[in-house]
Structure 1
Amino acid sequence: MTLVMTNISAQQEPLSDPAQAGELFDEEIERPNADARYGQSLYYGPVGARGLHQERSFDEDDLRVDIDVEAGRAAVSWLADGSYAVELPPDSPLTVWYSADAAPAVVPAEKARVSIATARRLVQEYVASGKRPSSVEWVTG
């Protein structure tokens, strides 16, 4: 199964292995969006039925990472059941752009519960297994 990362510009990048996924994660989070901010959503999942670089729905994805580098936090969600990763206590909400064509969204502090390093590690774990990462607690709600 081929996995891809989809960024806020709806560009898909194939993920060959966990190391490459980590490098791509680093590149994406350091790239400012149109408003010169660093909050964004990244989606990870299998190539859709229409193939790579074709329009696809985000509900085809498995893992969503809402990350705000300036806040030093991320929200990592497993989309199949709506659960989110928990590593840290709640702090502040995140402001992220999930699409270059949409207004920013606010991610509640209750869901922004992992460090950037942990978000990266969870992406790599997902790419290695194709399954929900097991190295953190997941909470539904």
Structure 2
Amino acid sequence: MQEKRNPGNGGAKRPGRRGAPAFRPTKPQRELVKMAVAMKIAEPKIAAQLGICQNTLRKHFSEELEFGRLRKTMENLMRLDKAAKGGNVSAMKYIDAKIAAANRASDEGDHVPPKGEKMGKKEQAARDAETAGQDTEWGDDLMPPTMSVN
């Protein structure tokens, strides 16, 4: 008796789908990707660790790749907050220091001028020369001499 072949799948012996089974990420794999992203491990290395290609990594772990670092940071902050509420003074001090640093960074960020077009070295030097010496003891000594006709 001869085995029947399915002409709809190129004559393959097994009926149904061809190729490897579809990848389905597990919860531990998702946690691993979040931690790897938080540690700034490159995508090719993460994919290799999971035994998948980068395209599969990007397809199935897009949330973890984009927000993994933020989520891990938030998880740790929540643990610190819980410890601080439980009376852990070190956790309290650490949270206070982080909040103060964030406030300083946002205060400094308020004074940053908006980004314009990228300038070349010579153009930047010419622009810097126009304001050189302002608000210093050098004052007008650095200003170019004015040309006047006698």
Task: Give the TM-score band, short-chain normalised.
Answer: under 0.3
TM-score by length of 2: 0.20
Structure of greater Rg: 2
Q: Judging by fraction of residues, say which structure has more strand.
A: 1
More helix by share: 2
